[in-house]
Amino acid sequence: MSFEAWVAVHTPRVNAALDQLCPADGSPLREAMRYSLLAGGKRLRPLLCIAAAEAVGSEIAAVLPAACALEMIHTFSLIHDDLPAMDDDDLRRGLPTCHVQYGEALAILAGDALQALAFEIAPTHAVLLARACYQMCAGQAEDLAAEGQDIGLEHLQHIHSRKTGALLCASVVSGALTAPPEARAALTHYGEKIGVAFQIVDDILDVTGDDATLGKPAGSDLKHDKATYPKLVGLDESKRLARRAEQEALAALEPFGTLAEPLREIARYIVERNT
Amino acid sequence: MSFEAWVAVHTPRVNAALDQLCPADGSPLREAMRYSLLAGGKRLRPLLCIAAAEAVGSEIAAVLPAACALEMIHTFSLIHDDLPAMDDDDLRRGLPTCHVQYGEALAILAGDALQALAFEIAPTHAVLLARACYQMCAGQAEDLAAEGQDIGLEHLQHIHSRKTGALLCASVVSGALTAPPEARAALTHYGEKIGVAFQIVDDILDVTGDDATLGKPAGSDLKHDKATYPKLVGLDESKRLARRAEQEALAALEPFGTLAEPLREIARYIVERNT
């Protein structure tokens, strides 16, 4: 199966599961949750979870709740990060952000409720998800504190690894919780490396992308006077570092043979994407 | 042991466990979390959990993580409810609220991180806690939507049962997760009734209390044009309904004999408290 076909099989499956696990109930809160949760998006975290399950020979149906929980946590973080008190963004995935659409109070509660729902549907993954969720909050706090500061590459990498890396890595590991320790360790290494690649490319796209393609305002990092890879090491070196992280991620997948093909394709996609 | 002595034994134990499970790490995020988590408070939810464990003969050490998780979830909800976009309160437990002290961004993240930490430390209670957490968010959303609306007693009770009742009930049940189904059912009934009593008394205190005793502004419901028991049925009838709920709660405890004495005292305290 080509990667495109693989994505075309699993993305609708994830979307259907999300719709079913967070059904409309007539309440404005649920409407706000569904507005952000079902607004599209690449479903990168659920697909990582499913691809990892394939790599270790696990049943995909068994990891689907965890895959959906990851997307709920990701969506909760987007809703809160977009708030006026945080990054103050009006546009997300090409649509008005949750607080623009429903007001700040309901947006805060929709984020809170999505976090709660994630733990309800994937309780066997609670510790893994909770730790990643905590790291994500800590990373966002450090990111805000670093705005306008003159920070170095090491500090930037630390913030990135917590803010986005932790949940991406947890996405991979969550698909392989029942695999042997060596397999989990290799996938953790893969997860860490694609996390690095993801954030470097995110920084690059904030410089080189345009609003329409990104579905959110480009230049947002500049606006917030945030340290980024292109700012610290230049565009060319940023691209080189992203490619190196991709290669390291691919190397970690060697023991899995062809079963890891979707994970390989995702690593490539992360570096080559333009959105 | 008198109830005062019982409280004096278990409250410091809960506080020490909270301090240990959420230790300072030098980060502003953790400082904001600890500011609100360790600001005092009656520790009603942890004490309910411990009292329920006693009633069914469970080890208290085994439920202490759940007891702390309940307080973290409660604190997270207070931090978010106090935000300018929600109830906009400046004072809590006699101190500036989290967002007044640390700014809105860090307050939002401190709440988010406390929810995550709760699930990390009590993963075996994830489903119970997550459901209660969700109800709490849903109740707060309904409460905000009902501001200035002309709602009836049934609607008010529904909001209350979700906003505060669900977590109080989960506090009781969490202490007895390994007990036989009949015991859990009886404790659930008790938990529902003290939830009702708690909220009626909260409404009463908002009318009759003063800022200094409450540690937060009295008259807050009036300010937000919220429906309350005293407003809907008068002060005397509110007191009668609180007493009735207390009696129903006590009746549910009959099968437990003297082991349920702390739970009985907590029910009495909930109705007789002035803060």
For the domain that residue B254 is a member of, what is the CATH number? 1.10.600.10
Q: What is the pLDDT of residue B208?
A: 86
Q: Is the pLDDT of residue A212 over 70?
A: no
Alpha carbon of B219: minimum distance to chain A alpha carbons (Å): 21
CB spacing of B137 vs A29 below 8 angstroms: yes
Candidates A29, A103, A137; nearest CB to B109: A137
Is there a contact between B120 and A130 if contact means CB atoms under 8 Å apart?
yes
Interface of A with B (CB under 8 A): 27-29, 76, 80, 83, 85-86, 103-106, 108-109, 111-113, 115-120, 123, 126-127, 129-131, 133-134, 137-138, 140-142, 144-145
Residues of A in contact with B120 (CB under 8 A): 126-127, 130-131, 134
Amino acid at A246: E
pLDDT at A226: 82
B59-113 tens-digit pLDDT: 999 999 999 999 999 999 999 999 999 999 999 888 999 999 999 999 999 999 9
List chain A residues with CB under 8 Å of B23: none
Mean pLDDT of chain A: 94
Cα B272 from chain centre: 16
Return d(Cα A70, Cα B186) in angstroms, integer. 36
Q: Is B96 helix (H, G, I), strand (E, B) or coil?
A: strand
Please report residues of A whose CB lies closer than 8 A to that of B80.
108-109, 112
Comparing C-alpha atoms, which of B256, B249, B128 is closest to residue B189?
Answer: B249
The per-residue pLDDT for B45 is 98
Considering only the beta carbons, identify the residue of B109, B118, B141 that sits closest to A106. Answer: B141
Mean pLDDT of A89-117: 96
| Closest residue in A to B110 (Cα–Cα) | A137
Nearest to A108 among B80, B117, B118 (CB): B80
Looking at the 3D structure of chain B, how many domains does it have?
Answer: 1
Identify the domain containing residue B10 by its residue range: 3-272
Whether B141 and A29 lie within 8 Å, measured CB to CB: yes
- ipTM tops the 0.85 cut: yes
pLDDT of residue A217: 67
User: Of the given ranges (A167-181, B37-51, B201-215), which has the lowest mean pLDDT?
Assistant: B201-215
Q: What is the pLDDT of residues B17-37, one digit of tens each?
A: 999 999 999 999 999 999 999
Q: What is the pLDDT of residue B217?
A: 67
Three-state SS letters, chain B: CCHHHHHHHHHHHHHHHHHHHCCCCCCHHHHHHHHHHCCCCCCHHHHHHHHHHHHCCCCHHHHHHHHHHHHHHHHHHHHHHCCCCCCCCCEECCEECHHHHHCHHHHHHHHHHHHHHHHHHCHHHHHHHHHHHHHHHHHHHHHHHHCCCCCCHHHHHHHHHHHHHHHHHHHHHHCCCCCCHHHHHHHHHHHHHHHHHHHHHHHHHHHHCCHHHHCCCCCHHHHCCCCCHHHHHCHHHHHHHHHHHHHHHHHHCHHHHHHHHHHHHHHHHHHHCCC
Residue B57 has what pLDDT? Answer: 96
Higher local confidence (pLDDT), B160 or B222: B160
Mean pLDDT of A128-135: 98
Name the residue facing B83 among A108, A116, A120 (closest C-beta). A108
Return the residue of B nearest to A133 by Cα.
B116
Q: Which of B29, B118, B131 sits opposite A137 (nearest CB)?
A: B29
**Residue B8 has what pLDDT?**
97
Q: What is the pLDDT of residue A149?
A: 87
Q: Is B123–A120 a contact, with Cβ atoms under 8 angstroms apart?
A: no
Say what the pLDDT of residue B200 is: 95
Of A106, A108, A123, the CB nearest to B127: A123
Q: Do A141 and B29 touch (CB under 8 A)?
A: yes
- The predicted structure's pLDDT at residue B93: 83
Smallest CA-to-CA distance from A65 within A128, A116, A10, A119 is with: A119
**Nearest chain A residue (CA) to B33:** A138
Question: Which range (A106-120, A258-272, B208-222) has the least confidence?
Answer: B208-222
pLDDT of residue B214: 65
Per-residue model confidence as pLDDT tens digits over A31-81: 999 999 999 889 999 999 999 999 999 999 999 999 999 999 999 999 999
Average pLDDT over residues B158-187: 96
In this structure, are residues A62 and A124 in contact, taking their beta carbons and an 8 Å threshold?
Answer: no
Distance to chain A for B129, nearest Cα, Å: 8
Nearest CA-CA distance, residue A261 and chain B, Å: 32
Best of B22, B29, B167 to mutate (most A CBs within 10 Å, chain A): B29
Q: Which two tokens stand for residue B16?
A: 């020490």
Quote the pLDDT of residue B40: 85
Residue A267 has pLDDT above 80, yes or no: yes
Write down the pLDDT at residue B216.
66
Q: What is the pLDDT of residue B149?
A: 87
Q: Chain A to chain B, count of Cβ pairs less than 8 Å apart?
A: 123
Confidence bin at B213 (pLDDT 50/70/90): low
Q: Does residue A207 carry a pLDDT above 90?
A: no
Query: Residue B47: how many CA atoms within 13 Å on its side-chain side?
Result: 24
* pLDDT at residue B268 tops 80: yes
Tell me the C-alpha distance between A184 and A192, whole Å: 12
In a mutagenesis test of the A interface, which of B22, B27, B120 is the best target, namely the one with the most A β-carbons within 10 Å? B120
